Structures are given as C-alpha cells and as structure tokens.
Amino acid sequence: GNWRPLCCALTGGWSQVEATVDAYLNPEQFDKLPNKPPSPFKASGQEVIMVSYSKGKVKSTPGFEVIKQLPSFLCLETGITVGSEVEFTIDLITCIGSVILMHPDAEVLKRDIEFIRYMETFNGVFHYESQLANLKRPTAESIVQDAVVQQKQAASGIASPSGRPPRSHRRVFSSDGPSLIRHMS
C-alpha cells in the first residue's frame, strides 16, 4: 500500500511486504532481517486521515496541491475529485483521503500534521460550487405566534409537532453545519 515507502524509511529499508516475499523466495535474505524493527526509528512518519468539516459539490481541490508541497509529503490517496459530493466526516468511510508524511526531523513532521489539521478547520482543502437558496425571512408576527402556540401547548401538556418538549428559547436562524470562516478563496 501507500504506507510501504514510509515503513521502509522507518526501518532502514524493509517492510512486511519485502520480508514476506523474502521468506518464501529468498530465505537467505530473510535470515538477514533483524528480529524486530530498529528503536528509535530511522525517520518520523505518519498516515494522516483527513476529515471534512464542510459539505458540498467540489469545484476545485487547491488544498491537495498545497499538501503536496509540504516538506514531509510522501503520498496522497483520495477519491475526491472535481464534481464529487463531500459530506461531513463522521467515520473512516466519509474521510476525504489520507496523506502519508515522512521526514527525518520529527518537528517538521509535527508542523506539517498541524498545518493539515488547520487547513481542515477552515475548509482550505476544497472550493465548493455555490448553492443558491431562497430563505424565508422570519417576521416578528410569526415568532410571536409560534411562542403563543408553544405556551398553550406547555400549559395543556401537549407535545410540540416535533415531539420534543416545548422550549423557552426559539432558535430563529440555524446553519446546515459547523460555522466556517473562509481564510482562502
């Protein structure tokens, strides 16, 4: 897989794949392998599973190009391309990709991981297609009428249409996901 070059860098030139092949096809080479990996490792590396704090139809992927320029970048694996629909990441299935990072200096690796996580938080990975929607503006009258209905329901013990108990505070505006500030455009 994509982790193999990282594994070879950490161990000084071999991974489970090479060891398995040598065990079957080249026993003499297999016998030369150490019984356990070196400690400490010969490099620093990590697979970063990327998450999405936003959703939409991808217009472009500028963040991928930025990630490829990081000093520790080794490999990017993603199924997201222009035109893909991205959802909020809730598990490994909905992740937006994985990045293999490796560098001899652990501090460089740490900075690159922090940078990727920062890009994720302000949606610096994708540009989405704009979505136009007509929003109904709440009026004072509709808010007051809803409040009166909720008070009557609370007094009579009737549940609200949503099935939840009546609230003393009504949320007038809401968003479809996390609030994001766009730092890149």
pLDDT at 179: 45
**The model's pTM:** 0.66
- Say if residue 135's pLDDT is above 60: yes
pLDDT at 184: 45
Distance set, CA 106 to CA 109, 112, 161 (Å): 5, 10, 56
Q: Which residues pair with 39 in a beta bridge?
A: none
Tell me the pLDDT tens digit for each residue of 43-85: 899 999 999 999 999 999 999 999 999 999 999 999 999 999 9
Tell me the pLDDT tens digit for each residue of 170-185: 444 444 444 444 444 3
pLDDT at 159: 57
Tell me the pLDDT tens digit for each residue of 79-129: 999 999 999 999 999 999 999 999 999 999 999 999 999 999 998 999 999
Q: Closest Cα to residue 26, out of 36, 14, 39?
A: 14
Query: In the sheet that 73-77 helps form, which strands lie side by side, from edge to edge?
Result: 44-50, 97-103, 73-77
In angstroms, how far is the first alpha carbon of the chain from the final one?
34
Omega within 30 of 0 (cis) for the link into 40: yes
Q: Name the E strands within the chain.
A: 44-50, 56-60, 73-77, 85-86, 97-103, 127-128
- Say if residue 150's pLDDT is above 50: yes
